[in-house]
Structure 1
Amino acid sequence: MNQPVNDAAVTMLIAVARAAIREHGDSNVHTVAAAVLDEDARVHLGLNLYHFTGGPCAELVALANARAAGARAPRLIVAVGDDNRGVLAPCGRDRQVLVDYYQAISVVLPGPDGPRVVTGDDLLPHTYRWQAQQTQRLRFRASHLPAVRNGSKRVTLRFNDPAQVGPALLVFESGDVDDEVTLAGRITSTVAKTVQDISDAEAQKDGFADAASVLPGLRDYYPDLSSDDYVVFVHFEVDAT
């Protein structure tokens, strides 16, 4: 799962966002910079794009840029305003997006004694949870059901198959819809890596003999997969009930 953020990470991310708005802000269209720290300690930036029709906020642009760079589990986000406005709190729309899609992310907010870090529940308490109405499905071949049931399989590798931390329905497909088995579960973390950067230990968590077995094994599912493609390690749990 995502590791807790520390004060050094917060300070660093604020400084990066502040430098970005100082360099690229124009006091007109681009007035806020956001920075995202991902699961591999990489930083991704975004600027807002002000428009009277409702242009995107810097936080959403930064999150989209993080995703485009292969991040799958953003850990920390901050927005900084131009003209020395400092750390800014996300708007209502951004708060709802963060709660719906990034439940595990930490958010830096301004405070009377300096920046502070909160979770999604603190950011938008008592919110309507859109994702709860549309539980994501994590699909497996039926042959994986015994290992998932006995707990020996808690990781699955995915390519171009979106998965978000949160509740999930684990679906085991046999080719006949009437024979599908489903288990209630939860995705606990997602970590993206290129196939060529996967270690033997990581490969073995998903049942591969070693890292060299990953590419040929996954091509059974994804024929066009290449060694420099990003795949996502999806860690999941099965509900005890």
Structure 2
Amino acid sequence: MNAARSALRTGGDGNIHTVAAAVLDEDDRVHVGLNLYHFTGGPCAELVALATARTAGARAPRLIVAVGDAGRGVLAPCGRDRQVLADYYPGIHVVVPTSEGTRIEPIATLLPHTYQWENQQVQRLRFRAKHLPAVRDGSKRITMRFNDPLQVGPALLVFASDDEVSLPGRITSTVAKPIESITDDEAREDGFTSAADILPGLRDYYPDLQPGDEIVIVRFDLDE
């Protein structure tokens, strides 16, 4: 909240930039953004802050708050922002104003009957067929990807074979890391013996992968 207020004091102008938002990410870093008012529909501060967080490497924002100028204090997100948060960051919490002061609420509470877009075009998380048993029995809930634009939200888990199998699921987090910073525990979660095995193992999928490249650790679940 203090970061949002500071950004508003620094960048607010009482006209175009009147709201600031702050995002707390999975690594406890704070990212801020200002709204950009325009009669055609400029972006809200919450969306700008989320994009700023993404640019800085955040993949699983945990908390978001918006503050208005002219003494308005904490502002609840508009309907569009609530839908965006529910679609892309279903685990996020939001600071909202109440008659008894501010309160932290999960986004599902703010949008209890959200529009469900699972039946629209859903992102696909693709696997080789050999991974199907482990995904089905729950022993595999992590995968590492390179240059694969995935995001938190609904996903169709697709297993390539002559009889292609698809399972409905959800990507719960995406964390970008340089290969050399991945831990042995993270490596073992994805079936590797140790972190030293990640680069040669992933080159089976990505032949051009280099030691300094950044990969994304994707965590997912199956829908019940």
Q: TM-score, normalised by structure 1?
A: 0.84
The alpha-carbon deviation at position 101 of structure 1 amounts to: 1.5
Contact map agreement 1:100 1:131 (CA 8 A) in 2 = no
- Could you tell me which residue of structure 2 aligns to residue 43 of structure 1? 30
After superposition, what is the alpha-carbon deviation per residue over 1:34-93, rounded to whole angstroms, capped at 9, x for unaligned?
Answer: 111111111111111111111111100111111122211111111111223211111121
Measured at CA, do residues 228 and 39 of structure 1 come closer, stay the same or move farther in structure 2, by a change above 3 Å?
farther
Is 2:214 the partner of 1:230? yes
Contact map agreement 2:23 2:50 (CA 8 A) in 1 = yes
Gaps of 5+ in 1: 1-13
Is 2:112 the partner of 1:125? yes
Is 2:193 the partner of 1:209? yes
Tell me whether 137-146 or 160-169 shows the greater mean CA deviation.
Answer: 160-169
Of 163, 168, 179 in structure 2, the residue corresponding to residue 195 of structure 1 is 179
Contact map agreement 1:21 1:33 (CA 8 A) in 2 = yes
Contact map agreement 1:49 1:55 (CA 8 A) in 2 = yes
The alpha-carbon deviation at position 228 of structure 1 amounts to: 4.3
Whole-angstrom CA distance in 2 between matches of 1:227 and 1:28: 48
Measured at CA, do residues 228 and 85 of structure 1 come closer, stay the same or move farther in structure 2, by a change above 3 Å?
farther
Gaps of 5+ in 2: none
How many percent identity over aligned positions? 71
Whole-angstrom CA distance in 1 between matches of 2:118 and 2:26: 22
Whole-angstrom CA distance in 2 between matches of 1:150 and 1:126: 31
2:167 aligned partner, one-letter code: L
Equivalent residue runs for 1:18-57 within 5 Å: 18-57=5-44
The alpha-carbon deviation at position 185 of structure 1 amounts to: 2.9
The alpha-carbon deviation at position 227 of structure 1 amounts to: 4.0
- RMSD across aligned C-alpha pairs, in angstroms? 2.0
The alpha-carbon deviation at position 132 of structure 1 amounts to: 4.7
- Could you tell me which residue of structure 2 aligns to residue 155 of structure 1? 142
Whole-angstrom CA distance in 1 between matches of 2:203 and 2:55: 22
Whole-angstrom CA distance in 2 between matches of 1:147 and 1:125: 33
Contact map agreement 2:87 2:153 (CA 8 A) in 1 = no
Equivalent residue runs for 1:47-126 within 5 Å: 47-126=34-113
Measured at CA, do residues 69 and 53 of structure 1 come closer, stay the same or move farther in structure 2, by a change above 3 Å?
same
After superposition, what is the alpha-carbon deviation per residue over 1:77-122, rounded to whole angstroms, capped at 9, x for unaligned?
Answer: 1111122321111112111211222111111111122211112222
Contact map agreement 1:21 1:32 (CA 8 A) in 2 = yes
Tell me whether 146-155 or 32-41 shows the greater mean CA deviation.
Answer: 146-155
Contact map agreement 2:179 2:211 (CA 8 A) in 1 = yes
- Secondary structure of the structure 2 residue equivalent to 1:232: strand
- Secondary structure of the structure 2 residue equivalent to 1:169: strand
Contact map agreement 1:34 1:47 (CA 8 A) in 2 = yes
1:209 aligned partner, one-letter code: T
Higher normalized helix content (fraction of residues): 1
- Could you tell me which residue of structure 2 aligns to residue 8 of structure 1? none
After superposition, what is the alpha-carbon deviation per residue over 1:125-151, rounded to whole angstroms, capped at 9, x for unaligned?
Answer: 323223453333211012222322333
Q: TM-score, normalised by structure 2?
A: 0.90
Higher normalized strand content (fraction of residues): 2
Whole-angstrom CA distance in 2 between matches of 1:131 and 1:108: 27
Contact map agreement 1:104 1:165 (CA 8 A) in 2 = no
- Could you tell me which residue of structure 1 aligns to residue 3 of structure 2? 16
Tell me whether 48-57 or 223-232 shows the greater mean CA deviation.
Answer: 223-232
The alpha-carbon deviation at position 198 of structure 1 amounts to: 0.8
